[in-house]
Amino acid sequence: MKKLLKVTACALLAMVPADAVLAQTLEECQQAAERNYPLVKKFAMLSRMTDYTVSNIQKGWLPQLTASAQSTYQSDVASWPSAFSTLMQQVGVEPAGLRKDQYKIGIDVQQTVYDGGTIHSQKAIARSQGDVGQAQNAVELYAVRKRVNELYFGLLLLHDKKQLNEDLQYLLAENERKLSSMFQHGTAAECDYQLVKAEHLAAVQQMTLLQSQERAFRQMLSHLCGMEVNQVSKPPVVVSTGENNRPELKLIHQQLKLVQAQRKALDSQLRPRLSIFVSGYYGYPGLNMFDDMMKHQWSLNGMVGARLTWNIGALYTRKADKAQLDTQCSLYELQREQFLFNTTLEQIQQDENIENFRRLMADDDEIIRLRSAVRKSSESKLSHGVIDASELVRQITQENNAKTQRSLHEIEMLREIYHRKYTIDNSYSQ
């Protein structure tokens, strides 16, 4: 029983067309290409860089420790007044005074209590800069979809040309067989048979060229997608509606947010800063200068305090800084307006191209019907010796050309439809 089931399953799989198993959709190729393209790794790198930058800025709240060592020799130092020095000598005390060589080994610790919002503003700017970098990378990555479109629809066109070439070879082979029989029976000239045979060989040669081109396109698409693309299928006709969702617009939006964060940072520059500090050192002289003037020895010294600073220098450039940011914002708005203007022009042209291909395809169907009828009539006339083989070959070629034009117009229409989708939308839903 199990053996019978296995045989049945294998038979059913063998009945499934190869295209149905191996064909990749345009959406699958788009997604695979975006996952495979090296630029996709840049998103994670940019994210890590932003995290590192924000983390470093946040450390501004940690105590700032400064270690120092100093050795100096002074041209002069503080000394006792001469009257006081004379008085001290009278009582038997010889004041030494300060030495001109002085030494310090110290540590200063400062803790920010209030920074006026500077650290918060810096973190906001760093995150906005990271978002701008991500958006710029998305713009570059989005261009990969257009390359996939070109290769994908190129493969579709080559696939249709191969099918039409097979049909052409079949017609020529059938007529070659008929003319061979007619020539053997003396009802057709040898040159007619040779003409059709030559056209048949030319069609076989054309198939070899098409197969080579198809392999090249398939290899390029497979490399771009990072997977083996065995076959492609015609995507459905879609209608692109809704607002423009291109990554270029998202980039401009992130750039405007960055300008807004920089504008807020200007306010933080005008606020005061409050910090507490601890300072200590071991050296000579110490904080008790009078004691050091009596005896020359190193000592430990320290102080604790609070410091309030308010730098109003930012007021001098505030007006120009704000004007510069406003101008930058206007430039980004102008870029958005220009981008939307250009994409609207593209859409108008693409819509007209799509409608033009629809009209051409309607005419193509009628032309194919007429060409097929003429070709069949010519085959009948050749069988009765009314026309020669060159006329039949001409009619077969014209019929094949009409079918090729129909296939070309259909693929071009589909390509234009998905180019339009590329123009206004960065999502592929089929």
Would you state the pLDDT for residue 18? 37
- Alpha-carbon distance 43 to 45, whole Å? 5
Question: In which element (H, E) is residue 299 found?
Answer: strand 299-309
Would you state the pLDDT for residue 242? 66
Residue pair 213/162 in contact (Cβ under 8 Å)? The answer is: no
Question: In which element (H, E) is residue 102 found?
Answer: strand 101-114
For residue 285, say if its preceding peptide bond is cis, omega within 30 degrees of 0: yes
Q: Which residues contact 414 (CB under 8 A, 6 or more apart)?
A: 153, 156, 234, 235, 237
Would you state the pLDDT for residue 380? 85
Query: What does the angle CA 140 – CA 146 – CA 147 come to, to the nearest 5 degrees?
Result: 95
For the chain, give the longest Cα–Cα distance. Answer: 156
Closest CA to 286 of 99, 110, 93, 109: 99
Closest CA to 80 of 61, 64, 96, 60: 96
Residue pair 121/265 in contact (Cβ under 8 Å)? The answer is: yes
- Alpha-carbon distance 358 to 243, whole Å? 25
16-22 CB contacts, 8 Å cutoff, 24+ apart: 18/231, 19/231, 19/233, 22/230, 22/231
Distance of CA 111 to the CA centre of its chain: 43
Would you state the pLDDT for residue 112? 92
Closest CA to 231 of 251, 250, 217: 217
Would you state the pLDDT for residue 288? 86
Structure tokens at 29: 């190729």
Show pLDDT as tens, one digit a residue, over the chain (430 residues): 344 334 343 443 334 343 334 468 999 999 999 999 999 999 999 999 999 999 999 999 999 999 999 999 988 887 777 777 777 777 767 777 788 889 999 999 999 999 989 999 999 999 999 999 999 999 999 999 999 999 999 999 999 999 999 999 998 898 888 888 887 877 778 888 888 899 999 999 999 999 999 999 999 999 999 999 988 999 988 776 667 889 999 999 999 999 999 999 998 888 999 999 999 999 988 888 888 887 888 999 999 999 999 988 888 889 999 999 999 999 999 999 999 999 999 999 999 999 999 999 999 999 999 999 998 898 888 777 777 788 888 888 999 999 999 999 999 999 999 999 888 875 543 3
- Alpha-carbon distance 300 to 2, whole Å? 93
Question: What does the DSSP 8-state code read for residue 277?
Answer: E
What are the tens digits of pLDDT across the range 376-396?
A: 898 888 777 777 788 888 888
Question: What does the DSSP 8-state code read for residue 234?
Answer: P
Q: Which residues contact 59 (CB under 8 A, 6 or more apart)?
A: none
Structure tokens at 312: 């109003």
- Alpha-carbon distance 110 to 67, whole Å? 12
What are the tens digits of pLDDT across the range 392-427?
A: 888 889 999 999 999 999 999 999 999 998 888 755
Helix axes 389-424 and 314-383, enclosed angle (nearest 10): 160
**164 SS3 class:** helix
